[in-house]
Amino acid sequence: MTFTVITRGFKQEFERWTDALETANGLRPQLKSWFIDIRIFDDKNLVWMYSKLRAHPEYIGPGTYDRLARLFMAEGKVEAASRQPWNIRGHQFNWGERTYLMGVINVTPDSFSDGGQFNTLEAALRQAHTLIEANIDILDIGGQSTRPGAEQISLGEELNRVVPVIEAIRQTDALKQAVISVDTTRTTVARAAIEAGADIINDISGATYEPDMLKVAAETEVPIILMHLRGTPETMQQMTDYDDLLGEMSASLRKQIDQALAVGVPMQNICIDPGIGFAKTYPQNLDILRRLSELAELGCPLLVGASRKSFIGWILDQPDPQQREWGTAAACAAAIAGGADILRVHSTAMVDVARVADAIWR
């Protein structure tokens, strides 16, 4: 459904009724003539009108106010649905009550922070135990490095890295109820991971590399995290020119949300990620953290992954990602203050950071 605002010299389409109404009301002071009006159409039907000539400017016949009330109620239901809790393996994610933590397990030899540390089955399982014992909420398993400049590995290699780890976690008594996300941009990997026991798809491309990822999420009825990204890890840092950083990010994410809804992904199963460090300069990453709350208008839970990122190293003049814990703590606190629902982290130290930040800001 789209809403079109029309007056002399102006025509613009909106996906949300409240955005259209806000724009129409903003145009009122520009009406210099009594013979010009402002109209809002729902597809081809007139749903709102303003004119100085009319005794009741917004009244367009019987049922006007009922119709407007239904539009507000419909939008409210969509927003409410989008913030419904996730219930996964006995774990409930009540958005807004506290910050949930996603612990990274990179089963790769070349990830920017911990490449090579967990790329054996035994090491990955040890890290899974460590994270769960520290009350990390989600285990994020990834087999493809997405650091700047990273090259794509083969499909077979990614499957061989990811699926055995997920299967092993599900076969371990202390871990079998853990919530698992699979960090992949490939539909084949996502399907195999879900069959092995993964609960969430975490796609850094926002389902732009393989659009059928949205169908996988719809068919398997698992939540999907859609991240903002331009280009690929090999090219993304050459694509950091924006006229309106937050506006363009929001528009891109909204497009992916709409495409997910169109193929049957429920709104409540969609989470968004602004993509800190992905096709963003160091100052742009800071701007995103400062303005994070602006993404709340998209109506989805918000994941932020700032842990150990290079912008922190730039600020601290610290080239070693593993020596960026204090900077990561500051970035995580800023994200929580800005409304983040999930933080993707490498260290269990962020559990205490989140608890204190939640006590202050929630």
**Which residues are tagged catalytic?**
309, 344
3-state secondary structure of 302: strand
**Distance from C-alpha of 109 to C-alpha of 119, rounded to nearest angstrom:** 6
Tokens for 208, please give them: 């732009």
What the block records as the tokens of 114 is 């911990």
Helix H, strand E, coil C: the string for 94-117 is: CECCECEEEEEEECCCCCCCCCCC
Can you list the positions of beta strands (E) in the chain? 3-7, 10-14, 37-42, 45-51, 86-88, 91-93, 100-106, 138-142, 179-183, 200-203, 224-227, 270-273, 303-304, 342-345
Count CB neighbours of 81 within 10 A.
Answer: 13
CA 82 to CA 266: how far, in whole Å? Answer: 8
Radius of gyration of the chain (CA): 23
Q: What is the largest CA-CA distance in the chain?
A: 76
> What six digits make up the tokens of 132?
């769960």
What is the C-alpha end-to-end distance of the chain, expressed in Å?
34
